[in-house]
A and B are shown apart, each in its own frame.
Chain A
Amino acid sequence: MSLTADDVNKIAHLARLGIDHQDVESYAKDLSGILDLMTQMSELNTDNVEPMAHPMDQAQRLRADVVTEPDNREKFQAIAPQVEAGLYLVPKVIE
């Protein structure tokens, strides 16, 4: 299994991850090598095996729907790159 530079650009787009032009080839090479390593998995028949998502096979714990957190908006927004009137600012999305 080998990935092309094109594949890497597509994956990077899916992840909204900027990668330097000159690094694309080396990512393609590294990822292809990692995928080769993963093909070892196909050696093993896993037809009737239940996938394991969690070491304890635990179900999500639920809690009562009550307010437990105080309002921390100001504190959390103090570390944001750009805020105004309690809102996070990003470049204009709708013209």
Chain B
Amino acid sequence: MHTKTLIELAQGLRSKEFSSVELTQTFLDRIQKHQHLNAYITVTEAVALHNAQAADTRLANGTAGLLTGIPIAQKDIFCTLDVKTTCGSKMLDNFSAPYNATVVEKFNQAGAVMLGKLNMDEFAMGSSNETSYYGAVKNPWNINSVPGGSSGGSAAAVAARLAVCATGTDTGGSIRQPAALCGITGLKPTYGRVSRYGMIAYASSLDQGGPMARSAEEAAIMLQTMAGFDEKDSTSVDLPVPDYCAGLNNSLAGLKIGLPKEFFGEGLNSDVAATLETAINEYRKLGAEIKEISMPNLKLAIPAYYVIAPAECSANLSRFDGVRYGYRCANPVDLADLYTRSRGEGFGKEVKRRILMGTYALSTGYYDAYYLKAQKIRRLISEDFKQALTEVDVIMGPVTPTTAFGIGEKMSNPIEMYLSDIYTIAINLAGVPALSIPAGFVAGMPVGLQIIGNYFAEDRLLNIAHQYQQVTDWHLHTPKGFE
């Protein structure tokens, strides 16, 4: 059952080949069997089986949608009512959310069955899933490699078929990079497309939730449920949601693809580059025109991001004070001690590093030099995208400079870790949508192709990804031991 696509599973549920309870039990057994991957922080077995039963009722009485009865999993950054919501941190190890995130609520209403909460880098700060308080997640393609991050548990779970599909969030590449490193499809929607309500904030002007699945078609089905205006999110965009599946089969004849020369220069592994070239050739065969473009300000995306994201994080994470919820230190002597020790003991090293960096960048005397400067560069990077997307329909490039690196390899050098996000970060600064699709393998490890589109062009991106997946089968490969 676990190798079937979402559409096949939806058909199987309708033809009574299997029930949602049986399907859910199959996935729960797989989670148990493969727990060494450490993909889940919490498995909600009893609730899942209860909800599967409810889904079977809906399937029987004809009120079911495509996702009804389908076992999915939520990144542990989304608040789930009365279910532990940790954000990968000791700070929230004792936190049971008093409400559902809008995204969770929408999947519940659609009848999807939540299997549990997925591991992630602490507060979504990391590119390897090694900063989690609950330990590193292993890449199902090679258990000595990282799955990427911060949505590493989501990517590993979908790749290993421990969930049909999963949610992720992307602040600087946290959906696309793990999707690439685990060989699945992951979409970061336009900023504001998916509600951030109940999604624990890291950098609020960059954070965006999105779908992680095996194929573009499955991602389209998920996004249909996730997207839309939410008055509970003050930056949610009030635009109609198109039918994301309607255009999947549109022809790509005449599609103009731009390849920024800045994406294919020094630093990109040559085998990864060759794999991408083959993928781009496939698009030529599908009728696309390829054009080299230039986006001169991209090189400043990393420094600008590592000012803006930590600045926003230092403000957002000030809410964790040991007073209202979350971790509180033992025997505080006074209020200052309560704050300082609760935060000091509750946060891990990478989170502290970013709080310190952000606090510094916002402090008196440095605000103009760092924060304001970074926001100006953000404007220039965004203009680069707007300009490029008048010349071409979409931009393609790598997601990561190399395939998945080894667990432990980059943990001692934070800057090297930051630099691995070079191809994904600029997209969040601009706010445009982008996805990663499996495009082949180098030495047995998956390679992702990134496709970047204009604001609210998720339907076009999914169409372009889906057409590629009709002529290739990279997205259908399953890692050894998980077949």
Contact = CB atoms under 8 A, between A and B. Distances in A.
B261 interface: no
B191 A56 contact: yes
Interface residues of A, number: 52
Given A11-B363, A38-B307, A31 B353 contact: yes
Contact of B415 (A37, A61, A82): A37
Chain A contact residues, majority secondary structure: loop
A55 B300 contact: no
Interface string B409-451: 0000011001000000000011100000000000000000000
Nearest to A38: B303
Contacts of A12: 356
A41 B373 contact: yes
B337 A91 contact: yes
A37 B306 contact: yes
A88 B324 contact: yes
Chain B at the A interface: SS class = helix
A75 B382 CA distance: 42
Interface stretch (B115-123, B129-137, B230-238): B230-238
Contacts, number: 163
Contacts of A78: 98
Interface stretch (B27-35, B46-54, B166-174, B327-335): B327-335
B335 A55 contact: no
B415 A19 contact: no
A23 B378 CA distance: 32
Contact of B324 (A30, A34, A61, A76): A76
Contacts of A76: 98, 324-325
Contacts of A53: 205, 375
Interface in A4-52: 7-8, 11-12, 14-20, 23, 27, 30-31, 33-34, 37-44, 46, 49-52
Contact of A11 (B356, B374, B455): B356
Contacts of A37: 302-303, 306, 415, 418
B198 interface: no
A34 B414 contact: yes
Interface in A61-85: 61, 63, 72, 75-76, 78-82
B376 A17 contact: no
B60 to A, nearest CB: 34
A27 B356 contact: yes
16 contacts: A14-B359, A15-B356, A17-B340, A30-B353, A31-B356, A37-B303, A42-B373, A43-B300, A46-B376, A49-B376, A49-B379, A52-B382, A54-B235, A55-B205, A81-B322, A81-B325
Interface of A: 3, 7-8, 11-12, 14-20, 23, 27, 30-31, 33-34, 37-44, 46, 49-56, 58, 60-61, 63, 72, 75-76, 78-82, 88, 90-93
Given A17-B343, A27-B352, A37-B303, 20 more contacts: A15-B355, A15-B356, A16-B336, A17-B355, A18-B343, A19-B352, A30-B414, A31-B357, A34-B418, A40-B303, A41-B377, A42-B373, A44-B300, A51-B376, A52-B378, A55-B192, A60-B234, A63-B231, A88-B323, A88-B324
